[in-house]
Amino acid sequence: MAEPLYRANVLVCGGTGCTASGSHAVMDAMRAELGRRGLDVEVRLVQTGCRGFCAMGPVMIIYPEGIFYCQVRADDVPQIVEETLVKGRIVERLTYKEPEEHKAVPYYHQIPFYEKQLRIALRNCGLIDPENIEEYIARGGYQALAKVLNSMTPEDVVEEVKASGLRGRGGAGFLTGLKWQFTQKAPGDIKYVVCNADEGDPGAFMDRSIIEGDPHSLIEGMLICAYAVGAREGYIYCRAEYPLAIKRLKIAIAQAEEYGFLGDNILGTNFSFHLHIKEGAGAFVCGEETALLASIEGRRGEPRPRPPFPAVSGLWGKPTNINNVKSYANIPQIIVNGAQWFASIGTEKSPGTAIFALTGKVNNTGLVEVPMGITLGEIIFDIGGGVPNGKKFKAVQTGGPLGGCITAEHLNVPVDFDSLKEVGAVMGSGGMIVVDEDTCMVEFAKFFLTFAQAESCGKCVPCRVGGKRMLEVLTRITEGKGTMKDIETIKEIAEGMEAGSLCALGQLTPGPVMSTLRYFMDEYIAHIEDKKCPAGQCKELTIARCLNACPAGVDVPAYIALTEQGRYAEALAIHRERNPFALVCGRVCPAFCESKCRRGDIDEPIAIRQIKRFMADQEMKNPWTPPRIGTPKSDKVAVVGAGPAGLTAALRLAQMGYPVTIFEALPVAGGMMAVGIPDYRLPRDVLNIEIENILRAGVEIRYNQRLGRDFTIDDLMRQGYKAVVLAIGAHKSRRLGIEGEDKEGVMPGVEFLREMNLGRAPDLTGKRVVVVGGGNVAIDAARSALRLGASEVNVVYRRTRAEMPAYEDEIRAAEEEGVIFHYLVNPVRIVGDGKVTGVELVHQTLGEFDRTGRRRPIPVEGSEFIMEADVVIPAIGQQTDLSWLKEDGIQTNRDSTFVVDKAFATTRAGVFAIGDAALGPASVIQAVAQGNLVAQAVDAYLHTGKATKPEYNPPYHFPELTYNMEEYVNARRPKMPELEPAERRRTFDEVELGLSEQAAREECRRCLRCDLEWLEVTGKDKAAVMAAQQKTHQPA
């Protein structure tokens, strides 16, 4: 009976991802609803294979319009039927939303995830019912078979496949047509065609999706191959863990036999072909072709030496052609459309498309098919939608557990067999796992090694033993017990495995380890030398992610726990052990701790900065005299610069007993805290409280003493200072370098803020201000300009908002106050006759990726326009003023920072450098961390005459848990009370008002106390840990 004509087709994805997220329930609900309303005669319901967009599953497409609904639940079905199928309206809440502006994208063809894709092997996946051969036929299925049987000789077919340039999609990339030719020309009457569907890579589901979504494309490809090579029998080796794939294959084979596409005398010709399924038991090594053949034969899955290659002696010793699922699935299209069509897609040496299972830390996880030659960046950012939660892209692993990782600097690399190899990765069969800044690359390599070494078949000793030994070494490193010699050991083992293993499993098992060593050696060194896991993933090395993320290692869980108990003085004392600027950091810290907080994985991170401010504010009226922790010493130390780095260094040295003098160029102390950060963020009287504390430790500050003008380093040495710490900051703005920069009305950002904070603010009443830049200086300048009376403040930035280096909270606050942001614009000229009247800007578009993983802005020709302005504030970057530097023997880097070693020692003996002058522009807490460390380095230098890498390890405290965590499961992060935007734009009063005691203490109880869990999980004794730390923290 002929199928009825339907007015609409509802396609529900039945791929693995959507099935896992509940598409069967959606399917059942839709069937029931259509039946209940009597619509099942006019609306056809189809369960398809994978549509690719797994992150949005369950996915539903309604034709003829192509309406795309995502994350559909069974409860949504009645509304879909009523609105879309009955009334013809779109249910907007179920449409895909464009991530940046949350704009609804209702139609399938408009969704960016699909825009750059080209579907050849996946052409039917998600469009047809995979269990119905007629749908495959309706989409042109088996036309290629008919064409070869009726009009091509086997030689013609081989030549056509050769001419297409198709390379094996299993990973090795050998020319498919050539492989077929070998089998075709191999002597023998009995030959076999085998499909390798033993997809074993973690995170890979390309082959599975093709089989589940379009099994006939594989069958047709194998049929054509069989005809070309002269085989009458074939096997699909599919792992038993793919039950749906096997079920659909069985149905497809039965239907193909019924329709005369499989069996004897196919389509009335004398060509016969019988196809069997062999279920694999899940051994990874059976993905290797000789092991796979052994497994089909019923033997243990072990590889054997090649040659002879399977094309000569394969299954049961007969010539055998083995290809991957994806390779076969391409064949029908090549035959139908011609070799030239296929060769015109992709690159010259890697024609066609590549299919990737895009997984890991990427917004749009799923299955993608792209033309070869597309860049990695396009796959990850344009199709994949980038990294979730604003985290930074770190690397992508291709080629599964035997592949390698690729870093941000290679995002412009075209994806093809040869280009990926050049950067130390492999195409592999199509797994692509994205990792972000929170992934430890040592642990990442260990994960793949754990998998690969366990899958060794044991035949080759280097593989069997080498993988295990290498895993032991890596485990040692992740536990902080490694040595630098371990790196050499890893390399030696890798060489042995590569040279002495029979198959790719043994040869390539070290791949992920070697590629992480190549690109992330600094992380290995951090684990080995610093006993630190920078990503905070290695359990043994990470007491809690917050304190691990803090540059100064402040004991966050301890002061949160004590604040919760109302023990503010004790909490603050713990804070001060590593950071003397609690009042300051409670107001201006970027809070690296919060970005890594584990509570943030559940709902929102603990409001650590707000709690810190509350804690410190409670003790504001109690002057602190820092304790002396060393005996008095006679060696004098000079610190140049009274910013956060210099003040901290001076404090720690004074605590150790050294006489310390700070030489400060300005009439005030605090550095950028005083003359960079405006009062509305950090009131000067609050800052002064913490500077006074440091002075109480015995530190002397001499003001208005500028290096180079009032004294030299030689002078200091002559005056008897035994060590000098340069903490001179980066107080000079970078120039725009364009025409008109010398006009009246141009005020460089850093200098503008300094003058303002020293009480010499320009009158901006009624002026139109343009700030150029995207960092914190730009935002501070813009918000300050508003407060100084500007009628209009525009910030121009050449990239997009997402890429602005300024803190998100600051950008948001500026927006609230009325600062106008203009993205993707770049100034080319400042206009005006003597005085500024405007800025000529040119629109930008985003081009290639730079080595940081951000897209480079490129000017749009002819898009120049003038933005009117009376004042222009360039704030594009800053540098250290090095005009004093003559022949002091102190070397600097190109970015104007000092060349320093791990002990912060410059190239001149006895002179150290820290803070922005060593790091480049950074935060207060980063400067504090260096201040702590340099004091240890100076101390060691003054005792031994050598600068050695310092450690600063005040003990962690592990206070008791005094609340029931369960009661705070549903508690929410408080919002910081602030002045209203309209009120604050005309005053320099502090914007943030601080949490109430109740809100602060309640918030503390949301803390998951990772520190206590660490003690429990690692089985460590609290007293022993604290004692060990105390031992390493004694001053020399």
Partner 1 sequence: MSDYWKTIEDIIRQAIVGEEDSHAMYVNAAGRVQDPNSKAMLEELAKDELGHKAKLEGLLKRGLTWEIVEGEFKKVQDLKLGDHFVPEKLDEQADLQAVLTVAIRREKESHDLYATMAGVTCDETVRNLFEFLANEELTHKRKLESLYEDIVYQQF
**By the criterion CB under 8 A, which residues form the site for partner 1?**
734-735, 737-739, 741, 772-778, 797-798, 805-806, 828-829, 847-848, 850-851, 856, 858-859, 875-878, 882, 885-886, 891-896, 920-921
| Smallest gap from residue 33 Cβ to partner 1 (A) | 53
Which CB sits closer to partner 1, 82 or 815?
815
The answer to whether the beta carbons of residues 163 and 82 sit under 8 Å apart is no
Which CB sits closer to partner 1, 725 or 778?
778
| Smallest gap from residue 892 Cβ to partner 1 (A) | 6
| Smallest gap from residue 900 Cβ to partner 1 (A) | 15
Residue 700 CA to residue 654 CA, distance in Å, equals 10
Among candidate residues 744, 742, 768, the one with its CA nearest the CA of residue 835 = 744
Residue 503 CA to residue 301 CA, distance in Å, equals 12
Among candidate residues 860, 866, 910, 864, the one with its CA nearest the CA of residue 890 = 910
| Smallest gap from residue 390 Cβ to partner 1 (A) | 18
Among candidate residues 290, 324, 284, 108, the one with its CA nearest the CA of residue 195 = 324
Which CB sits closer to partner 1, 884 or 963?
884
Alpha-carbon 781 to chain mean position = 31
Give all strands (DSSP E) within 70-142, no chain letters.
96-97, 104-105
- Measured CA distances, 927 to 514, 645, 851, 907, 933 (Å): 34, 4, 25, 20, 10
Termini Cα distance of the chain: 94
Residues 6+ apart with CB under 8 A from 732: 750, 878, 879, 880, 881
Tokens for 296, please give them.
């089909």
| Smallest gap from residue 839 Cβ to partner 1 (A) | 12
Residue 783 CA to residue 399 CA, distance in Å, equals 49
Which CB sits closer to partner 1, 573 or 882?
882
Q: Map tokens 């200072």 to a residue.
A: 721
Q: What single DSSP character describes residue 2?
A: P
Which CB sits closer to partner 1, 80 or 876?
876
| Smallest gap from residue 828 Cβ to partner 1 (A) | 4
| Smallest gap from residue 775 Cβ to partner 1 (A) | 3
Which CB sits closer to partner 1, 327 or 897?
897
Which CB sits closer to partner 1, 73 or 851?
851
- What strands lie across the sheet with 700-702, from one edge to the other? 700-702, 660-663, 636-640, 721-726, 911-913
Tokens for 385, please give them.
């939608």
Work out the number of other CB atoms within 10 angstroms of the CB of residue 728: 30
Q: What single DSSP character describes residue 97?
A: E
Which CB sits closer to partner 1, 182 or 807?
807
Tokens for 546, please give them.
């917050």
| Smallest gap from residue 346 Cβ to partner 1 (A) | 18
| Smallest gap from residue 916 Cβ to partner 1 (A) | 11
Tokens for 817, please give them.
């106050």
Which CB sits closer to partner 1, 295 or 897?
897
Which CB sits closer to partner 1, 717 or 882?
882
Residue 299 CA to residue 291 CA, distance in Å, equals 9
SS3 (DSSP) at 477 = helix
- State which amino acid sits at residue 71: Q
Which CB sits closer to partner 1, 421 or 633?
421
Which CB sits closer to partner 1, 778 or 917?
778
Tokens for 663, please give them.
């030489």
Residue 367 CA to residue 365 CA, distance in Å, equals 7
| Smallest gap from residue 717 Cβ to partner 1 (A) | 21
Which CB sits closer to partner 1, 465 or 885?
885
| Smallest gap from residue 427 Cβ to partner 1 (A) | 21
Residue 140 CA to residue 121 CA, distance in Å, equals 13
| Smallest gap from residue 850 Cβ to partner 1 (A) | 7
| Smallest gap from residue 877 Cβ to partner 1 (A) | 4
Which CB sits closer to partner 1, 730 or 1007?
730
Residue 58 CA to residue 25 CA, distance in Å, equals 10
Among candidate residues 205, 260, 202, the one with its CA nearest the CA of residue 238 = 205
- What strands lie across the sheet with 8-13, from one edge to the other? 43-48, 8-13, 60-63, 67-69
Q: Which residues pair with 769 in a beta bridge?
A: 793, 871
| Long-range contacts from 607-610, C-beta under 8 angstroms, 24+ separation | 607/973, 607/974, 607/976, 607/995, 607/1003, 608/546, 608/556, 608/560, 609/585, 610/586, 610/974, 610/976, 610/994, 610/995, 610/1000, 610/1003
| Smallest gap from residue 798 Cβ to partner 1 (A) | 6
Phi first, then psi: give them for residue 731, nearest 5 degrees: -105, 20
| Smallest gap from residue 412 Cβ to partner 1 (A) | 9
Among candidate residues 144, 188, 178, 172, the one with its CA nearest the CA of residue 158 = 178
Which CB sits closer to partner 1, 495 or 741?
741
Which CB sits closer to partner 1, 592 or 797?
797
| Smallest gap from residue 809 Cβ to partner 1 (A) | 17
- Residue 482 class from Cβ within 10 Å (0-12 exposed, 13-18 middle, 19+ buried)? buried
| Smallest gap from residue 774 Cβ to partner 1 (A) | 6
Residue 622 CA to residue 670 CA, distance in Å, equals 20
Which CB sits closer to partner 1, 861 or 1016?
861
Quote the radius of gyration of the chain (alpha carbons, Å).
33
Residue 827 CA to residue 823 CA, distance in Å, equals 12
The answer to whether the beta carbons of residues 753 and 678 sit under 8 Å apart is yes
| Smallest gap from residue 384 Cβ to partner 1 (A) | 22
Which CB sits closer to partner 1, 491 or 734?
734
- State which amino acid sits at residue 612: K
